[in-house]
Amino acid sequence: MKCLSRNILLSGVALTALASTALAQQRQDVFSLGEINVTASGDGGTGVGSAVVTRDEIWNFDRGSLDRAVNTVPGVVSTFDSNGRRNESDVFVRGFGRWQVPLMIDGVRVYLPADNRLDYSRFLTADISEIQIQKGYASVLDGPGGMGGAINLVTRKPVKPFEAELQGGLTFGRNGAQEGWNTYAMLGTRQQNYYLQGSVNATDRDFWTMSGKYQPTATSLEDGGRRNGSDTSDWRVSLKAGYTPNATDEYTINFIKQSGEKGAPLNVYNNPPVPPNSYWRWPWWDIQNIYWLSNTQLGDASYVKTKLYYNTFENALDAFDNNTYTTQSANGRFRSFYEDNARGGSIELGTRLIPQNTLKAVVHYRADTHTEWNHNRPTHPTLSSIEPQQKQSQETWSFAAENTFHLSPSVDIVTGVSYDKYEITKAEEFNSTTRSIFNYPIGGSDAFNWQAAAIWRYSDTGQLHASVSDRSRFPTIFELYSTRFGTAMPNPNLGPERARNYELGWKERFANDTKVSGAVFYSDVTDLIQTVQVSAGTTQNQNVGDGHFYGYEASLETRLAPMLRFGGNYTYIHRTIQDASQPNLRPTGVPTHKTFLYMVWQPWERLSVTPSLEVTSNRWSDVSTNPVQAFPYTLTGAYTLFNVQADYKVANGLELAAGIKNILDQNYELAWGLPQPGRSYYVKAKATF
């Protein structure tokens, strides 16, 4: 018995040491030059209002896309686009969606100037070292738009003279049919003064399988089993070259290209669809980024960072006649083309020349160009027509400064200000009656932002912080000019939305590897962009909405026994939006309660079993019917998902894993009429060299 106890104790010590070593290694391969600013970061990337999803968590919970990865974080929820037709995943950070929370890759924003309807399920995660999430408080140094926070995908960087990694996996539906596959390969080298790395990440899914508890209605366009229109295909290539002439300076050139194709499952309650041209497919959804990042030390106390980038986004949307997806001849059917590009950069200066004080300042510039055109009724023998290309463009500037005063070794006071300005420089539109291009009035706006935080590290293991952040975000071209098929009036003078975010937070690390944290938050939202009825049959976007988002978060991680770890988090959030012209308005997509729990059982050094549980309450969703309902909302989306993964280390550098998702085969909808996958199985392997 004494030998057994001694072995268990030694095993626990070894596991703790291995975990510490793994964390150190994990931080080593983080491309730190691509990280965004984190206020009061002191323990590997977390600070005021921030969270990090690590590469190990992505593997252990099998979170192969961005939307699924961030759903493990308190205060963050992934959801299905409430409209449904676009088959898009959105992410809300403390109640703020993709229009108010910028998405970045290595600190370079991914932005679609037309409407910024990013599909978060298109962003793969196998080649990501960590996902940074700023909640409420996003530093003004990282550029405009951080009204509700920011999300940053940080790529990997090689740490050894030679390294490589291979991953591969298969997924299966509840009936055993293979749904799809995924793969990842990386090759890199780190030498004394330079490093090189290349990777490719791909996933392909022919379909996903619905829950066996789904019961179609007699007229439903979905009969169950394999979900119609659920096929997707995505791949991403990443190349990185870095020059490190000394211990402080770094200069890198980076290239990322990702390409996607997807279908669009139909609403299971509407037949015919609403609207009738909902038979959609995206034949391509492509993003390409090339960017330069550098850091140069100036003496002992100062530095300069530079960033230059050129991004492109291209996609096409097909609207078909019916569910055969073969012809596009009826009125209102089309192939819509988007071609966007952005060029820009920033320069950041920082110094600690004044004792007990760190001052940083940055200038950002970005120019976006959006080009669109339609091929209308492309398969019609006589009425097919192609529009001329229409261009819209805008320029955005941001001037920001942040100062950290080290009041004492344990207390920091952080203040930041920024001035943001954007201008629409071109706004073309096509008149289908006159068959000519005309120009909308151009517009623009500016905004002043400020924020402050106080951080008290009251012990070596504990911290308290308080923060306030007053930030804005500018409208998209869609919000400024879209006529919604002739039913809306453009508003080129539409102003920015604004939110003032407050937070009180605490975190502590106790003995036995126990970590706890919590935060209380409140957001006062003003000038929300809402649709207003300006005349019979005509609407316009105006800054008329006000709202209040508030709630709290709590997280816990602990080791219950040498071979058993437990963790989890809980979020409560309440949102209200007032709009005098829409008394029945309901904010959609965010559940009031959200819980994520997990356990890691490691009976042997090479074997670990990780069960996890996701529980959410319901959320408001749009109801799209014809005729329109007087109260076009419903509560849906409550679910309890039980998942498990078993991981076996065959040898050093070789792992095999198998798992089950939605073990209970729950049938649930994140948006009305759009069921989510039922039970599925997967196997995967990873080899590192």
**Who has greater pLDDT, 481 or 188?**
188
Which residue is listed with tokens 């970061």? 41
User: Residue 170 is encoded by which pair of tokens?
Assistant: 């298969």
pLDDT reading at 29 higher than 70: yes
What Å distances lie between residue 345 and 39, 108, 248, 308, 376, CA to CA?
22, 9, 22, 4, 37
Q: Under a CB-based contact definition with an 8 Å cutoff, are residues 502 and 522 in contact? A: yes
| Cα–Cα distance, 473 to 103 (Å, whole number) | 13
Taking only the tens place, the pLDDT of each residue in 58-107 is 999 999 999 999 999 999 999 998 777 899 999 999 999 999 999 999 99
pLDDT reading at 15 higher than 50: no
pLDDT at 342: 97
**Maximum pairwise Cα distance, the chain:** 91
Band of pLDDT at residue 22, cut at 50, 70 and 90? very low
Starting at the earlier edge strand, list the strands of the sheet with 128-135: 50-54, 128-135, 149-155, 103-105, 108-110
| Cα–Cα distance, 508 to 569 (Å, whole number) | 15
| Residues contacting residue 580 through CB under 8 Å, at least 6 positions apart | 544
Q: Under a CB-based contact definition with an 8 Å cutoff, are residues 294 and 252 in contact? A: yes
Host H or E run for residue 666: none
Question: Within 10 A of 193 (CB to CB), how many other CB atoms are there?
Answer: 9
Band of pLDDT at residue 536, cut at 50, 70 and 90? confident
**Region of 493 on the Ramachandran plot (φ > 0 left; ψ -120 to 50 alpha; else beta):** alpha
| Cα–Cα distance, 263 to 121 (Å, whole number) | 13
* CA proximity to 23, closest of 409, 506, 515: 515
* CA proximity to 169, closest of 156, 193, 185: 185
pLDDT at 84: 79
Helix (H), strand (E) counts: the chain: 4, 36
- In degrees rounded to 5, what are phi and psi of residue 579? -145, 115
pLDDT reading at 20 higher than 80: no
Band of pLDDT at residue 170, cut at 50, 70 and 90? very high
Question: Within 10 A of 477 (CB to CB), how many other CB atoms are there?
Answer: 21
Taking only the tens place, the pLDDT of each residue in 602-653 is 999 999 999 999 999 999 999 999 898 889 999 999 999 999 999 999 999 9
Indicate the domain borders of the chain: 31-688
Superfamily in which the 31-688 domain is placed by CATH: TonB-dependent receptor, beta-barrel domain (2.40.170.20)
If DSSP codes are grouped into helix, strand and coil, which group holds residue 3?
helix
Using alpha carbons only, what angle is made at residue 226 by residues 670 and 278, rounded to the nearest 5 degrees?
60
